[in-house]
Amino acid sequence: MPRTFDGSAGWPALRERLAARLDPGTLAALDEAVAFAVERHGDQRRPAGEPYVEHLLEALEVLAEGVGERDPDTLRAAVLHDVVEDTPTTLEEVRARFGDRVAELVGWVTKGEDREAYLAALPGAPDAAIAVKLADRLSNVQRLRTHPRPAKRASYYRETVATIVPLAAGRPWFEDWYRAWAAEHADLGGAV
């Protein structure tokens, strides 16, 4: 059974755990990113009803604690990965506040109107953007059974196996996690 990440304890608890792993400058940069994400996402909820910010913290936790990522831009992009897609925030606002590299990473993981084209382009993304996407999807699928719509559970499982799991190739921690997850949830998508 793969590890489950949980953002429900909030940023102060995660920050305290990360203080042993990350330097103070990175933690301060994450303070700013988390505050911005909380402000922009507001009262948004996930499909199962939990506060949206929990998903953002889970993506961060996956990278910082699971994978061992230390790059501040990659970690901030994990926190901000849905701010352009799911709020009125623009990529230019992200760039002005957090810099070109964070904006580039957020841009790579922001779905446009054409979902198929977005998924097809992901293999060409920079390694850091792929890591953010893998962490994002991991947070989404780790509790896939709690999604309120069975048809969505099945289609999301199949899409993950077909388009996201291949991105984990050459990234041992993600390969192992997704392999265990796919096996444990295979009944959701049938044969793929």
Contact 127, 161 (CB under 8 A): no
**By C-alpha distance, which of 170, 101, 96, 163 is closest to 136?**
163
- Domain holding 47, by residue range, is 11-189
**pLDDT value of residue 29:** 98
pLDDT at 79 over 50: yes
Residue in the block written with tokens 């390969």: 175
Annotated catalytic residue within 31, 85, 114, 184: 85
For the chain, what percent of residues have pLDDT higher than 90? Answer: 87
pLDDT of 32-43, one tens digit each? Answer: 999 999 999 999
Q: From CA 183, how far away is CA 167, in angstroms rounded?
A: 17
What average pLDDT does the chain have? Answer: 95
Closest CA to 40 of 79, 9, 95: 79
Q: Is residue 131 part of a domain?
A: yes
Contacts of 167 (CB under 8 A, 6+ apart): 122, 123, 130, 133, 134, 174
Exactly one of 6, 50, 71, 86 is catalytic; which is it? 86
Instruction: Break the chain down into helix, strand, coil percent, rounded to 5.
Output: 70, 0, 30
CATH number of residue 50's parent domain? 1.10.3210.10
DSSP structure string for 62-77: IIIIII----HHHHHH
Any catalytic annotation for residue 86?
yes
pLDDT given for residue 150 in this prediction: 86
Task: Determine whether 69 is an active site residue.
Answer: no
Q: What is the pLDDT of residue 152?
A: 87
Residue range 5-37, pLDDT digits in tens: 999 999 999 999 999 999 999 999 999 999 999
Q: What is residue 117's DSSP assignment?
A: H
Span 42-51, pLDDT tens digits: 999 998 889 9
In a domain, 108, yes or no: yes
Q: Is residue 1 part of a domain?
A: no
Is residue 54 included in any domain, yes or no?
A: yes
- Three-state secondary structure string covering 132-181: HHHHHHHHHHCCHHHCCCHHHHHHHHHHHHHHHHHHHCCCHHHHHHHHHH
What's the pLDDT tens digit per position in 126-166? 999 999 999 999 999 998 998 888 888 999 999 999 999 99
Domain count, the chain: 1
Write down the pLDDT at residue 192: 38
> What is the value of pTM for the model shown?
0.95
